[in-house]
Amino acid sequence: MLVTVSIAIVEFIIVKSDIKWCLGDSESINYNRHLFNVIFLIFLRDVSFYLFFTYVKLYLQTKSDAFIEKKEALRNVGVVMLLPLRGSPISINIDFVSYFSQRKNYTFIHWTIGNPSPIYSSLNYIQSYLNDYCLRVNKDTIITFTNIISYNEEKVIVIDGKTKTKITLPFFKKNAEEVLTILRKKVPKLEEKNTINSKKKSNETINDDKNRSNETIKDIILEEIQKKDGINALNLADILEREISRSTLIRRLNKLKEAGKIEYKGSRKKGGYYII
């Protein structure tokens, strides 16, 4: 309040000379009365501004405190409060969310059941609300720990609630180790299961390779290429994963090209193998 009085006095001193010029006779009673009225109005105006902005500050602070209290209360029962850039706050149960994705100015909440829900907000903006329950795995995706199916050193797999299909989400390359460390801490069993299965499949494939002659392996590869002209190495590897290891497949493809049995046509990304 003392600051408000001081400001009013300073403002009065600034405009005093203009008031004198307007009123003319500085000895009259009206002159002194007008000076008093001016300083009183200036003081009244400054006090009104002070009270108005104090009220606004208190209102915003009260609203913020109420939101924080509600957010903390809901957090204890697994519900997260999101505050979008537009619209009212949203309460969501993390157990029913598979992951969050971003498209342009919208963040989509992908539920474990039903269609995704869009909210007008960037993924960066709402990330701070989700840190306790979720993990940012790449530029456009945040996953929930409760709905992970499996993961390895490069990607994590979740379920899409709308299509009921598995969604593979690759990690940020620059912080893959950090993401993997958090996943191992939160859901360690999912990686162990995935790793055991991978090792078992790899051992089975290696043993199968040892039991096959080179000619048999070549015949298998040629047969698959003949079925579908232009097939690439990745598709061949997926088809023959239980028959031939990937390293063996690449070696055999190179030998077949050198022998003039097959040729590669097209670009590195879109090309494929053909029988000669």
Are 260 and 276 in contact by the 8 Å Cβ rule? The answer is yes
Q: Which CATH architecture has domain 212-275?
A: Orthogonal Bundle (1.10)
Q: pTM for this one? A: 0.45
Q: Six-digit token pair at 172?
A: 């940020």
Instruction: Return the percent helix, strand and coil in the chain, to nearest 5.
Output: 55, 20, 25
Rounded Cα distance between 177 and 179, Å, is: 5
Mean pLDDT over 157-184 rounds to 83
What is residue 216's predicted lDDT score, i.e. its pLDDT? 74
Beta bridge partners of 81: 91
Rounded Cα distance between 101 and 127, Å, is: 11
What is residue 98's predicted lDDT score, i.e. its pLDDT? 87
Are 120 and 87 in contact by the 8 Å Cβ rule? The answer is yes
Q: pLDDT tens, 99-134?
A: 888 888 888 888 888 888 888 888 888 787 777 778
Q: What is the dihedral of CA 106, 108, 109, 112, to 10 degrees?
A: 180
Helix (H, G, I), strand (E, B) or coil at 115: coil
What is residue 227's predicted lDDT score, i.e. its pLDDT? 79
Q: Six-digit token pair at 138?
A: 């790449």
Which runs of E-coded beta strand occur in 25-170? 79-82, 90-93, 97-103, 106-111, 117-120, 134-138, 141-144, 148-151, 155-159, 166-170
Are 109 and 123 in contact by the 8 Å Cβ rule? The answer is no
Q: Which of 55-64, 113-122, 158-167 has the lowest mean pLDDT?
A: 158-167
Q: 43 versus 184: which is more confidently predicted?
A: 184
Helix (H, G, I), strand (E, B) or coil at 98: strand
What is residue 194's predicted lDDT score, i.e. its pLDDT? 44
Q: Where are the domains of the chain?
A: 2-71, 81-188, 212-275
DSSP state of 234: H
DSSP state of 89: -
Q: What percent of the chain has pLDDT over 90?
A: 0
Q: Which residue has the tokens 């000076």?
A: 35
Chain-wide mean pLDDT for the chain?
A: 77
Q: Is residue 258 over pLDDT 70? A: yes
Which of 182-191, 231-240, 245-254 has maximum average pLDDT? 182-191
Are 244 and 220 in contact by the 8 Å Cβ rule? The answer is yes
Q: pLDDT tens, 1-10?
A: 676 667 767 7
Q: Strands 106-111 and 97-103: what pairing?
A: antiparallel
Q: pLDDT tens, 7-26?
A: 767 776 777 676 666 666 55
**What's the one-letter identity of residue 243?**
E
Mean pLDDT over 62-89 rounds to 68
What is residue 196's predicted lDDT score, i.e. its pLDDT? 45
For the domain made up of 81-188, give the CATH fold.
Answer: OB fold (Dihydrolipoamide Acetyltransferase, E2P) (2.40.50)
Using pLDDT thresholds of 50, 70 and 90, give the confidence band for residue 195. very low
